[in-house]
Amino acid sequence: MREICDKEGVNIDKATLETLITLCEGDLRRSITYLQSVACRENITNDYVLNMTGYVAEDNAHQLLTACHSKDTDRLL
């Protein structure tokens, strides 16, 4: 992946690239597809990769499910 980034001029740091690969569960094709999606940005951040891939933090998912279970509509909105 690093070689692809270097050859294509994609500016992404090591940690962010590792995040992308982790979110793709090591699937090379999916990693390349996601990389293509973020490559148009000059500065690719970890947060951007997380948002672009639709990642939901475990804590956020837990809060949402708890609010649903308790029927707490104020927290859901």
pLDDT at 77: 64
Task: Provide the pLDDT confidence category of residue 75 given band limits of 50, 70 and 90.
Answer: low
Q: What are phi and psi of 43, to 5 degrees?
A: -120, 105
Give the global pTM: 0.69
In percent, the amount of the chain with pLDDT more than 70 equals: 90
**Distance separating alpha carbons of residues 47 and 16, to the nearest angstrom:** 9
Task: Say if residues 34 and 64 touch (Cβ distance below 8 Å).
Answer: no
Taken as a whole, the chain contains a residue count of 77
Residue 74 has pLDDT above 80, yes or no: no
pLDDT at 54: 78
Hey, which CATH number is domain 2-76, 1.20.1740, 1.10.287, 1.10.8, 2.60.120? 1.10.8
Q: Where are the domains of the chain?
A: 2-76
